[in-house]
Amino acid sequence: MPIGGQAVIEGVMLQDGHRVVVAVRTPEGKVAVEPLPTKFAVPRLEVIPFLRGPIKLVQMLSLGWAALKRSAELAHPEEAPASRWEFLTIILFVVVFLVGGFMLLPAYLTGLTGIGNRILFNLVEGGIRVILFLGYLGAISLFADIRRVFQYHGAEHKVVHAYEDGLASVPDARGKSPIHPRCGTSFLLLFVVVAILVFSLIPTANLWIRLLGRLMLLPVVAGLTYEILRFGSRRPRAWWLQPLLLPGLLLQRFTTREPSDDQIEVALAALRYVTAPESERSLYTTE
């Protein structure tokens, strides 16, 4: 199973199968490396094509939140940790923001145009969704803390590239690309493209039924998107996949930055943990 992960606060989270770790640069300058429990492991279902996509999405969202929460505690131990209710409130707000802002709002705005053709309607809706998403990325990239997260995002991709080439040092990773075809950013943009095609199959002009249909078809879109991305990562030179994968790769130029060597060291600490034999893993819990 290929290694994947995400950037967190002052560090990265990496996953290799059911082995998950978060590595964070602490205020003292050390690298804290801690394992995380796998969320919602259902091995028998995770191998079924099209069903594994939605399952992986739920797992990564849950695991991503846990990694972000723990990284914040390690990077800023002087701040009081959020209570469970505060954390659940944040999650609820983000879910409402994502579903409302990126799924329902574009459909509603497009409905105001009076476009009757379903294909044209979905193209316009998809265009609005992309514009909103790019505007969101551009806005958050103005914050210094987010730019550091984007640097760690680049560090994560660089060490994964190095590992896939059989290398595992700072100089090796430094020369690698900060862009990777399996990135979640590519998933998001490809998700939009697949959604345009799938949502066009809803055979009604009623706006509210279309909105409900979109929500019900989200697992289908997630499943198709995951399979295309999975296939593309194994056959990156397939000519017919390039139009689907290229926009996501270009979008990563918004969400990654060139990392420093210190940031690459943090990502390598996480990599060493998830790839070490079980008997040696405890050796990499601190640096």
Q: Euclidean distance between the first and final Cα of the chain, in Å?
A: 27
Q: How far apart are CA 149 and CA 71, in angstroms?
A: 11
CA-to-CA distance for 168 and 162, rounded, in angstroms? 6
* HSE toward the beta carbon, residue 253, CA cutoff 13 A: 4
Considering only residues 7 and 284, tell me which one the structure prediction assigns the higher pLDDT.
7
CA nearest to 11, candidates 117, 111, 149: 149
Q: What is the pTM of this model?
A: 0.81
Q: Examine the pLDDT at 149 and tell me if it is beyond 90.
A: yes
* pLDDT grade for 151, boundaries at 50, 70 and 90: very high
**Strand, coil or helix: 146:** helix
| Phi and psi angles of residue 16, each rounded to the nearest 5 degrees, phi first | -130, 95
Sorting pLDDT into bands at 50, 70 and 90, what band is 140? confident
Helices (H), the chain: 52-75, 84-99, 105-111, 118-140, 144-164, 170-174, 184-199, 207-234, 242-255, 261-275
Provide the domain count of the chain. Answer: 1
CA distance 273 to 271: 5
- DSSP annotation of 35: E
Q: What is the pLDDT of residues 205-261, one digit of tens each?
A: 676 777 788 778 888 888 888 888 777 767 766 676 677 777 778 888 888 999 999
Residue 124, both tokens = 């316009």
| Full domain range(s) for residue 115 | 4-284
**From CA 60, how far away is CA 103, in angstroms rounded?**
20
Pick from 13, 8, 277: which is nearest to 160 by CA? 13
What percentage of the chain exceeds 70 in pLDDT? 86
Provide the pLDDT confidence category of residue 63 given band limits of 50, 70 and 90: confident
Give the pLDDT confidence score for residue 282 in this predicted structure. Answer: 58
**DSSP assignment letter at 277:** -
Q: What is the pLDDT of residue 107?
A: 79
What rounded mean pLDDT belongs to the chain? Answer: 82
